[in-house]
Structure 1
Amino acid sequence: MQSEDARYLKRKVKGGNLDVHPTEKALVVQYEVEATILGEMGDPMLGERKECQKIIRLKSLNANTDIASLARKVVEECKLIHPSKLAEVEQLLFYLQNRRKPSGKEKKEKRQIKPRDLTPFEGMEIDEEANINNIDDYVELLYEDIPEKVRGSTLILQLARNPDNLEELLQNETALGALARVLREDWKQSVELATTIIYVFFCFSSFSQFHGLITHYKIGALCMNIIEHELKRYDLWQDELQKKKKAYILPAIQIQRFSE
């Protein structure tokens, strides 16, 4: 396409879902931006679509705030929110207004269960620090043998355990698609690999705005299949253990009776 052929740029913004911020007094607005380059005759020549979000912080929100008035103000000032969603905005603001602040003990417990603070399980730790700029290199490892896949997924997990990286990882469909594929195809070959990848998606599941990602890749259903398989395998191990115990106990009893 020649640059002189592009005459116009058409930009379309479409509002999406609303949610509350997980930690702040704020609303999170999901929206979609579609940019299309039009030719001289008005025909589309190139288009791009991007998922975005806007955070509306409500520092003045307190127990005495008039929720109805604040909701109208938010809808009036934020063009991404359609007026038809006024009632939904009121409900979200009411939730924020009444959301209980965690006590000191709860804060400590909450800090302990943050994805980036969770204690690594045995085998996950590697002597290498992940860098978000090297994400493409880590994705390439997911196309190698099991040891390389474990290393690549562990490095990606390092990034995912920092919530500041989740938004950028969300935009990397190649990385997320590769993780989901490896989990779906190789989970039986390596418990460590399966656990690490599930841990990555767990980091996303900690925040409601990323729940669509979990649904898109059907991680919940896949986890249930894995759990069901492991429970069946555990039952088989228990049966084998009981059989071995009986095999050892019966001869021992016979020997004891004989000696008596």
Structure 2
Amino acid sequence: MDSLQEEQRYLKRRVKGCTLDVHPTEKALVVQYEVEATVLGQMGDPMVGERKECQKIVRLKSLNAHTDTSSLARKVVEECRLIHPSKLHEVEQLLFYLQNRKQSNDNQERKRISPRDLTPYAGVELDEVASINNIDEYVELLYEDVQEKIRGATLIYQLARNPDNLEELIQNETALGALARVLREDWKQSVDLATTITYVFFCFSSFSQFHGLVTHFKIGALCMNIIEHELKRYDLWQDELQKKKKAYIL
């Protein structure tokens, strides 16, 4: 008993680096965080330390079409100590996305969607075939103008469509970071660019071992912002179309 108390006395744990994303199939938030454990000496000085990446699923059973997402977001932040109060607005955005995400019919058998169940995205047509050995060249294209960014993203997408390349791609932090940055900063400039990069990360999301990557770059929240923007633009187009129809009839 004394040895256990002594061990607890000199072991210091700290939680850091919390990031949020939506669960790919459930009404839930995925909280990614890092636990830093340090063994302290008798004088309180750190002796041995290690870090471990952890994940917590916050399931939202009460979330439905009539839920007040603002109130629910405050409740989630209050009850989940891993989420800092400064992330309240981000939590509310993620809840709004989950609230509006299409769900399968509850009376039907639910099954996990796999890439084979979907019509594959062909991407932008190019007269060249991508090679994993040229990945650094494709990354450099992501720092050029929009057309070159589309070309670079398309070549990387060609690689990502082959599951055998995913393990090597996930080791290339420069490539993944550049893709996430371009999607975050330039998605309004080109639908082809945004769609291609989104499908690159979709290729990773199809395998559970890569979900941490998608969460790390907050792709779910980013896609939510893109979809919300496109829905608003669609509504504006519909309003303009209705006005032109009325003017034509009159």
Q: TM-score range by the shorter chain?
A: 0.5 to 0.7
Q: Deviations over 1:153-187 (max 9, x none)?
A: 00000000000000000000000000000000000
What is the 5 A alignment of 1:192-203?
192-203=192-203
The equivalent of 1:174 in structure 2 is 174
Q: Deviations over 1:106-143 (max 9, x none)?
A: 9xx967348xx82515xx12111000000000000000
Residues 221 and 170 (structure 1), Cα distance of their counterparts in 2 relative to 1, 3 Å cut:
same
- 1 CA distance for matches of 2:115 and 2:172? 27
The equivalent of 1:247 in structure 2 is 247
The equivalent of 1:133 in structure 2 is 133
The equivalent of 2:116 in structure 1 is 112
The runs of at least 4 consecutive aligned structure 1 residues that moved more than 6 Å come to none
- 2 CA distance for matches of 1:197 and 1:210? 16
What is the 5 A alignment of 1:1-260?
112-113=116-117, 118-121=120-123, 124-250=124-250
Q: Deviations over 1:68-93 (max 9, x none)?
A: xxxxxxxxxxxxxxxxxxxxxxxxxx
Matched residues, number = 141
- 2 CA distance for matches of 1:195 and 1:147? 14
Percent identical residues: 81
- 2 CA distance for matches of 1:218 and 1:119? 22
- 2 CA distance for matches of 1:118 and 1:239? 32
What TM-score results when the alignment is normalised by the length of structure 2? 0.53
Residues 195 and 155 (structure 1), Cα distance of their counterparts in 2 relative to 1, 3 Å cut:
same
- 2 CA distance for matches of 1:214 and 1:165? 16
Contact 2:115 2:206 in 1 (8 A): no
Contact 2:121 2:199 in 1 (8 A): no
What TM-score results when the alignment is normalised by the length of structure 1? 0.51
The equivalent of 1:13 in structure 2 is none
Residues 119 and 190 (structure 1), Cα distance of their counterparts in 2 relative to 1, 3 Å cut:
closer
Could you tell me which runs of 5 or more consecutive residues in structure 2 were left unpaired when the two chains were aligned: 1-50, 54-110
Residues 119 and 183 (structure 1), Cα distance of their counterparts in 2 relative to 1, 3 Å cut:
closer
- Structure possessing the higher relative contact order (Cα contacts under 8 Å, 6 or more residues apart): 2
- 1 CA distance for matches of 2:167 and 2:199? 17
- 2 CA distance for matches of 1:222 and 1:167? 24
- 2 CA distance for matches of 1:236 and 1:119? 27
Could you tell me which runs of 5 or more consecutive residues in structure 1 were left unpaired when the two chains were aligned: 1-48, 52-105, 251-260
Root-mean-square deviation (CA, aligned residues, Å) is: 2.2
